[in-house]
Structure 1
Amino acid sequence: MGETLRLALEVVAWGGIGAVVYSYALFPVVLFLVAALHQAGRDAAFVLRKRDRRKALDRVDLDWPHVAVVISAYNEERHLQQRIDNLMALDYPADRLHAYIGSDGSRDGTAAILTGQGDEPRLKAFAFEVNRGKASVLNDLVSRGDEPILVFSDANTFFRPDALKRLVAGFADPGVGGVSGELRLIGAGGDNQDSLYWRVEQFLKFFEARIGALLGANGAIYAIRRSLWKPLRPDTICDDFCVAMNVAAARSRLLYEPRAWAEEETPERIGEEVKRRIRIGIGNFQALVRHPEYLLRTSWATRFAYLSHKVLRWIAPHLLIVAMAASAALAVESTGWRWGLLAQALSYLGAAAALGLTQRGVKLPKVITLAAFLYALNWAFLVASWRYATGRYAGSWARSSR
């Protein structure tokens, strides 16, 4: 093997592994440091020039705008009535809150629940007979009203009583185009590997928002100005990500308001998440290919976060496969790389075995369970990329436990 080829293979092997380690482990640290420097600059501006560094999000004298809560529901009879009751009980001026809920050709009792709501003037219920997909239903529901603030949520999500006010208060700043709330995952068995991963995601959202680089929104609870709404392509899968990133591409600010929170049940077993992760993964690659403006028209901070937090994670399994192939080529002539190849193989096999055990209900230490969850996540991204590349993702709008 020539020296140039060997060096190239080493760069590929170390580069692939290093990029994945950076995205998962180093980026949170780098983001925290960048956010700390950004906050220090704002504090200095406040001290030296008296420029206010805080936003008045706690005002109670706001002229609360009219809002439209938009929900596309598919086979949600288990949660829907409770969800409607939750919306109608929110601490928000009753004459300024309207809910637009559409059943997307549901095959259970969802449509019957909607049509049986009586004369509630704040609820606009639509029982669509044909299953068109979530994006089409959202487009339809948004077109039915004229409220200046659009709030998006899910049928199996429940808002805290003051969540809507917390969410809408951010729009007191005319430069704000969207506000994302916080989703809290709950389960009968307490904490699980998904919520542990979700807490890390919340950490990243908080500090990305601090530097003006919030990526997407929590689909369970977020809002945008109607003036920034762009109709979605009918087969769009990650609608919440695209709606929010369209706001960022319009150079309007996205806020993260963790005090506006909602709750949602989460599966107790990793296996229940795999199909959902594959669907989301397909949507991720769909957004990456279809929307180059998320990199080309957004701020430097958003581009930095998008590449580090999203793109590198989406292609992480591909990077690891390429790195392993390069390691195998190097192992032909190097004992050190033989050990490196063996370590990679054992790590992946061990994580796969742990995933199999967790799917059978075996309780494992948290570190091993997290490794199994990350393996499942990356497997989902790998499958999703193949299905997107081959166009095999019809019917991706499906009912799941989340």
Structure 2
Amino acid sequence: MSGWIEALLGAVAVVCLLAVVYSYAIYPLVLFVVAALRQAARDAAFVWRKHDRRRAEAVAGDWPAVAIVISAYDEERHLARRIDNLLALDYPADRLRAYIGSDGSRDRTAEILAQHGGDPRIRGFAFELNRGKAEVLNDLVSRTDEPLLVFSDANTFFRPDALKRLVAAFADPAVGGVTGELRLMGNDGDNQDSLYWRVEQFLKFFESRLGALLGANGAIYAIRRTLWKPLARDTICDDFCVAMNVAATGARLVYEPRAWAEEDTPEHMGEEFHRRVRIGIGNFQALLRHPEYLLRTPPATRFAYVSHKVLRWIAPHLLIVALAASAVLATGSTAWAAATLAQALSYGGAALALQQVRRGRRLPRPLMLAAFLFALNWAFLVASWRYASGRYSGAWGRTSR
């Protein structure tokens, strides 16, 4: 093998590995440092020039009209309790409307909607034809005239003050969308000890501080109705696309962690895996269908999009390329042979840990994290193949989440 080919393969292996390490480990540190420096600059401006460093908030008693939009499919298990949850929100009743559409549900979802038809705050629509979530969202939004749209799910439950927390941020005219915080509830209560979940919340908080928030949490987010753009009928990651469409207009997306919503976690990692595959397909769909997310969003958003999203979506492909390049180089280098063995053992160990988790065994937290990351990257790999082969649709994918 010629020297330049060896050099090229070595560079490919190193760059691919570093790209993955950067996205998962280095980017959070860079984000924190940049956000801290920006906050320090704002604080200095406040002290020296008396520039206000905090965003405006809505004045009590001056709450705008809000439309809560929910597309539901076979949600008889949650819907009645969800409607009660909406009616119990701390928000002026005359400025709150919930538009809930049953997308050709085969259970009692439409019947439950009809039972709540007497309350003017609940507007239920029992669509007989199953069209997919994106189509139902388009339909429901077309029936609203409220200036703010709040999107959520039938199996999500807001804290009483969550809506006011979301809406308050729109007092700043530069804000086009606000996402709240989803708290996952396990069988034994709060599930916030997941390291990966905590890191995602960390990233979301500091990306918001830099004006680089990516997408929204589909369980609880809001946008200005004037910034709504109808979705393609087969859209899978509707929440991500709705929010990024807002960012592509130049409006700000912000994160409001005080706006809480709760949702149950899947009982089995296998169920979560299928959900991850579907989300992964939606990620690749958005990446290839919407180049404007890279071309028309603010520079900070583009930087975060590549660092936080794109590199993670293609991480398994990068790891495979790195392993293949290392294996070729291993034939003539002890160092590369060791590097190849280390990579193979790492992936094999993570796969074994995942197998143990699926059998219900409790492992130390580092091994649990390794199992989760292996499952996540395997899901992205499967998703990329299914998207490339066209083996997907915009129809509903049912899990407990």
If the TM-score is normalised by the length of the shorter chain, which range does it land in? Answer: over 0.9
Q: Identify the residue that residue 228 of structure 2 maps to in structure 1.
A: 229
Cα deviations by residue, 1:338-370 (Å, 9 ceiling, x for unpaired): 111111111111111111111111111111011
- CA shift for structure 1 position 47: 2.0
Contact 2:185-2:191 within 8 A present in 1 as well? no
- Asked if the contact 1:20/1:312 (under 8 Å) is kept, the reply is yes
Aligned equivalent of 1:259: 258
Give the 5 Å matches for 1:136-175. 136-175=135-174
TM superposition score normalised by structure 1? 0.97
CA shift, 1:221, in A, is 0.4
C-alpha distance in 2, partners of 1:61/1:124?
Answer: 26
> Distance in 1 between the 2:330 and 2:192 partners?
35
Q: Which residue of 1 aligns with 2:34?
A: 34
Q: Which residue of 2 aligns with 1:332?
A: 331
Q: Answer whether contact 1:189 1:268 (CA < 8 A) is retained.
A: no
- Amino acid paired to 2:179: S
Q: CA deviation at 1:395?
A: 5.6
Structure-1 residue corresponding to 2:51: 51
Q: Which residue of 1 aligns with 2:279?
A: 280
Query: Aligned AA for 1:238?
Result: C
Shift of 1:190: 4.4
- 1:281-306 superposed Cα distances (whole Å, 9 cap, x missing partner): 00000000011111111111101100
**265-274 or 378-387, larger mean C-alpha shift:** 265-274
> Is the 1:269–1:358 Cα contact (8 Å) retained in structure 2?
no
Q: Is the 2:113–2:124 contact (alpha carbons within 8 Å) kept by the matching residues of 1?
A: yes
- Please name the residue that 1:377 is paired with: 376
Instruction: Tell me the secondary structure at the aligned position of residue 129 of structure 2.
Output: coil
Q: Check conservation: 1:192, 1:268, Cα contact below 8 A.
A: no
Given that 1:331 and 1:337 are in contact with CA atoms closer than 8 Å, whether structure 2 keeps it comes out as yes
Partner of 1:69: 68
> Is the Cα contact below 8 Å between 2:74 and 2:106 reproduced in 1?
yes
Aligned partner of residue 55 in structure 1, secondary structure:
coil
Whether the aligned pair in 2 keeps the contact of 1:187 and 1:268 (CA below 8 Å) is yes
Paired residues for 1:1-400 under 5 Å: 1-57=1-57, 60-190=59-189, 195-394=194-393, 396-400=395-399
How many pairs were matched up?
Answer: 401
Q: Give distance in 1, aligned partners of 2:287 and 2:394.
A: 20
Contact between 1:194 and 1:373, CA under 8 Å: does it hold in 2? no
Aligned 8 A contact 1:193 1:373 in 2: no
Partner secondary structure for residue 378 of structure 1: helix
Q: Name the Cα RMSD after superposition.
A: 1.3
Q: Deviations over 1:96-147 (max 9, x none)?
A: 0000000111111111111221411111101111110000000000001100
In 1, Cα distance between equivalents of 2:279 and 2:195 = 19
**CA offset digits 1:219-248 (Å, max 9, x no partner):** 100000000000000000000000000111
Counterpart of 1:13, as a letter, is A
Give the SS at the match of 1:200: helix
SS in 1 for 2:160: coil
* Cα shift at 1:279: 0.4
Q: 1:352 to 1:191 in 2, by over 3 A?
A: farther
CA contact (8 A) 1:83 1:156 kept: yes
Task: Give me the whole-angstrom Cα distance separating, in 1, the residues matched to 2:193 and 2:154.
Answer: 20
5+ long unaligned stretches in structure 1: none
* 2:26 partner letter: L
Does structure 2 retain, via aligned residues, the 8 Å contact 1:69–1:99? yes
Contact persistence 1:193–1:369 (CA under 8 A): no
Superposition TM-score, scaled by structure 2 size:
0.98
Distance across 1 between alignment mates of 2:395 and 2:6:
43
CA contact (8 A) 1:71 1:155 kept: yes
SS of match in other structure, 1:69:
strand
Deviations 1:180-234 (A, max 9, x none): 1111111113466994322211110000000000000111000000000000000
Separation in 2, partners of 1:78, 1:182: 23
Local SS of the residue matching 2:125: strand
Stretches of 4+ aligned residues off by more than 6 angstroms: none
Q: Is the contact made by 2:105 and 2:128 (CA closer than 8 Å) also made in structure 1?
A: yes
Amino acid at match of 2:14: W
Q: What is the CA–CA distance in structure 2 between the aligned matches of 1:350 and 1:62, rounded to whole Å?
A: 57
Amino acid at match of 2:172: D
Q: Is the 8 A contact 1:67 1:148 kept in 2?
A: yes
The AA in structure 2 aligned to 1:16 is C
Question: Partners of 1:265 and 1:369 in 2: how far apart?
Answer: 19
Partners of 2:168 and 2:284 in 1: CA distance: 33
Give secondary structure in 2 for the equivalent of 1:237: coil
**Structure 1 residue identity aligned to 2:22:** Y
1:60: Cα distance to partner? Answer: 4.8
Q: Unpaired runs of 5+ in structure 2?
A: none
The percentage of aligned residue pairs carrying the same residue is: 75
Which whole-Å CA distance do the structure 2 matches of 1:271 and 1:61 have between them? 46
Paired amino acid for 2:368: T
